[in-house]
Amino acid sequence: MSKHRLLCLGRLYNDHHTLKMVNSEF
């Protein structure tokens, strides 16, 4: 369960980071 939660958190962070990069580009 802890591993699955970490994976979800990582994915959420990844999406947020990508969104930040895209926002800074435009």
pLDDT reading at 15 higher than 90: yes
Rounded-to-5 percentages of helix, strand, coil across the chain: 90, 0, 10
pTM for the full model? 0.50
Whether pLDDT at 26 is above 80: no
Q: For residue 11, what pLDDT is reported?
A: 94
Kindly state the average pLDDT of the residues 3-23.
90
Domain ranges of the chain: 1-26
CA distances from 1 to 5, 6, 9, 12, 25 (A): 6, 9, 12, 17, 36
Q: What is the mean pLDDT of residues 2-26?
A: 88
